[in-house]
Structure 1
């Protein structure tokens, strides 16, 4: 009762915690030429929910999740797998590239966030966590949003917006969108003036198992409007230039399933580019699903990133462990579903959308000063989550007069990537609290 009263009268207090070291007092650097993002639902929930999802002990997994997030390969950052003939073998990897900004979902408890910070903060000093808006009308003053952001770049502004329409368990969780503005360094303006380069990023987790209600349509449209308003409100066009606006997270819908037709036709997917999407209702041939069959998570092929990568590359084996994109209605039956074999022989065969329920997204706003050049599905979280992490690298478009600066940036890229990839291993843990 006291918790409810406190939240009622403290509703204007910042609904999240941050780590903001003294790095933001340094002299600004030139804006880099590339930026890499990762989103992952890591299921760091209360233990009884973890068991319900057929996952392992959360108190062990939180440390293992952090270690695998930091298991990054700088060589991947040298590839541009979207700018050449794309094949799945170059898209599905056992590790992550060197990541600049990490978006996590389902980091629900504060102590789990603190454990993540112990591992991540030496490499990612700017973090936002414990994000929630506790009200009886939003989450019954119970669970937070589970959203978590870790960045190499300083945070200039942040805003959390809880969704106004939820159902079922969503009434107990502060589902919403976190909008963040980042300081990327400096760039030259059209008259050689120095402008602050900024990037915008949104992290969201939407309603699961919506049933017959069109909750996801309302939430994704609300996210788009809230994020666009945040950009308009916080951007100073006289002193700043926006390099990118990226939306990521667990959308709980895919681009192929018949039951997800209303969501794939939203304006969001016209304003923001999905590198894995060929068109509404059709994914690129190299894309794979990201939502796993929960009842099979403890089987041998799921226990190791290398063997799980082999599974993801096979059109038949993948169907055994990743949900097919043939969902008619979002219900809890998805937790127990098995792949459908041939109606006559029962044999499991490749099919359109087989193992292709892709519900974890990274989208880039169309018309920004960057373009997607690489994309990855990573098997690094094998056995730790029922979601597959995805990563995207974008490259800044070079304006006239910036060619020489960009050339120098690319010459340093290999060394810088290797150095950043080793930071998390070589840095001593910092005491944050």
Structure 2
């Protein structure tokens, strides 16, 4: 049975909620506009302080008076709204039938790549967004939705083998596009995308555009309902399944009154099989008024011999105040427990798990000394962070994802391309990314600033199961396309999931013909897989290695895989790795499979 779209089980309750919300909205908007009278740094540059003070004196009373007049009506609507939340499911679902559904994952096969984007987009009510030095929430929501929709329209990149030569001299890859104004659209049809050379173990790039054709979007801080509606309207043609308005509000389910939802927003190209949300019970301070929690989703990716191929997404936003490390650590522990309970409850016998991703704004970094508790949490033993080498140590190409909010509107980072160029330089990262901080929130000046505070994560793990799968990180992206529109850099992760053929399932080939220099002697043969690749006599390959003076011969020094006697092959039969097959192929021998 599919998911119900409305968070209410009856139309009456849904209609009542809409009516009550319409009575609450004027007061909500007036409070937001009162708070929005404070200025961002960009507004301070455009409007001198005396003029702004005069505007506050005029606008303040004009906003405050209707707020007071509406107070009795708003209070009555609020008293109706509170108990109504007890009947509400903690998420809403939007399904838009897609004319072009995604290609299903098939096993066994050549592998399937899945692309994920996680971003804190800071779409709060205007008044609250000002505390992050951001304004114009509705315009920013429109811009963000357009950029994500534009990226979704671009075709997915073709699968390319990883480079095996010397690494590139560039520390970061580059993605190019035409110059953009802040929060302005590029010329139609301008989708140039320059590929980057990746390291063998997965590398990183700074890119000025969102990765093309992402399969899953996991957004945080989509608190404003109008902003959420803009996102849904522009993303629904590309993402058939959207979860929004996630979280418990009111007095139920969590430890305190929740006035805002969790801010989580998830869009998927693939069908959703199961969804569950948990609210963290230990929020404090200003974070206690929003329903931060963990959103767990099971998606249907395909089928293999009657078995479901599924994936798991866990999206979250942890407690923010820097001094509350214990709260964040407890939330991580709860999140791991809830994710495992969700998977145990929704897993069916024989399920093949293609991926298990845990992502979001975790609000701790890898460079601040007072984040040691979170940096050493067990989540990093269960999940893999593709950017991390160990506690307080990232891979050389990883950079911070939190901007220095006072520098958001600086000319050097005012467009995606300018920000990309600035962050490719060490000096730019030191100036425009937030540096390490202490528990009290003050800058940590005792050590090096490093590459900035990376507080946004996309983690993954592999699952044992009936099919042996391997996960390879193809690309990690630090995205600058939301320049001036968010105080975070979105992150992208592209995973390649491939099936590993078991020895008893390999189609072996035998020699039919070789050139004279490689006539088959008596003795064990070397078998290559899969079917259609050549099989070469072991002695002939050894002879070829001895004759070779190139470095390629070292490929044969790797340990060989042995032991397939159950297929009736001679003792000593060997399976070659990819570099070994490439070397044998240079013998120009003529082979064809045995039928």
* TM-score of the two chains, using structure 1 as the length reference: 0.81
Q: Deviations over 1:136-172 (max 9, x none)?
A: 3445131110000001001111111000111111110
Q: Is the 8 A contact 1:289 1:355 kept in 2?
A: yes
Match of residue 38 from structure 1: 117
Change (3 A) 1:28 1:298: closer
Q: Is the 8 A contact 1:108 1:146 kept in 2?
A: yes
Match of residue 124 from structure 1: 239
| 1:330 Cα deviation after fit | 5.4
2:349 to 237, 253, 264: 237
Match of residue 138 from structure 2: 59
1:213 & 1:382 partners in 2: Cα distance?
Answer: 29
Match of 1:209, SS state, is coil
Change (3 A) 1:12 1:234: farther
2:113 & 2:103 partners in 1: Cα distance?
Answer: 17
Can you give the 5+ residue segments of structure 1 that lack an aligned partner in the other structure? 188-192, 344-350, 406-433
2:127 & 2:104 partners in 1: Cα distance?
Answer: 46
Match of residue 172 from structure 2: 88
Q: Is the 8 A contact 2:262 2:291 kept in 1?
A: yes
Equivalences for residues 204-243 of structure 1 within 5 A = 204-212=316-324, 214-238=326-350, 240-243=351-354
Match of residue 180 from structure 2: none
Instruction: Pick the structure with more strand per residue.
Output: 1
Specify which structure has the bigger relative contact order, considering alpha-carbon pairs within 8 angstroms and separated by 6 or more residues.
1
Q: Deviations over 1:281-328 (max 9, x none)?
A: 20001000000111111111221111100111111111111012x322
Match of residue 303 from structure 1: 414
| 1:13 Cα deviation after fit | 3.2
Match of residue 391 from structure 2: 280
1:172 to 264, 278, 289: 289
| 1:232 Cα deviation after fit | 1.0
| 1:228 Cα deviation after fit | 1.2
| 1:118 Cα deviation after fit | 1.0
2:96 to 21, 32, 48: 21
Equivalences for residues 343-362 of structure 1 within 5 A = 352-362=448-458
Match of residue 134 from structure 1: 249
Change (3 A) 1:128 1:388: same
Over the residues paired in the alignment, what is the CA RMSD in angstroms?
Answer: 2.8
1:82 & 1:165 partners in 2: Cα distance?
Answer: 47
2:405 & 2:163 partners in 1: Cα distance?
Answer: 31
Q: Is the 8 A contact 2:430 2:449 kept in 1?
A: no
| 1:211 Cα deviation after fit | 1.7
Q: Is the 8 A contact 1:71 1:95 kept in 2?
A: no
* TM-score of the two chains, using structure 2 as the length reference: 0.60
Q: Is the 8 A contact 2:96 2:236 kept in 1?
A: no
Stretch moving more, 65-74 or 79-88: 79-88
2:267 to 144, 150, 172: 150
Change (3 A) 1:76 1:68: same
1:212 & 1:10 partners in 2: Cα distance?
Answer: 29
Q: Is the 8 A contact 1:139 1:174 kept in 2?
A: no
| 1:28 Cα deviation after fit | 8.6
Matched, 1:248 2:323: no
| 1:373 Cα deviation after fit | 2.1
Q: Deviations over 1:196-225 (max 9, x none)?
A: 111000110111114255211111111111
2:494 & 2:358 partners in 1: Cα distance?
Answer: 13
Match of residue 369 from structure 2: 258
Q: Is the 8 A contact 1:39 1:102 kept in 2?
A: yes
| 1:14 Cα deviation after fit | 1.4
Q: Is the 8 A contact 1:47 1:58 kept in 2?
A: yes
| 1:30 Cα deviation after fit | 3.9
Match of 2:86, SS state, is coil
Q: Deviations over 1:62-112 (max 9, x none)?
A: 100111223436575646779984742241111122210000000002221
Match of 1:11, SS state, is helix
Q: Is the 8 A contact 2:355 2:462 kept in 1?
A: no
Equivalences for residues 395-410 of structure 1 within 5 A = 395-400=496-501
1:327 to 437, 445, 463: 437
Q: Is the 8 A contact 2:96 2:237 kept in 1?
A: no
Match of 1:273, SS state, is coil
Q: Is the 8 A contact 2:367 2:450 kept in 1?
A: no
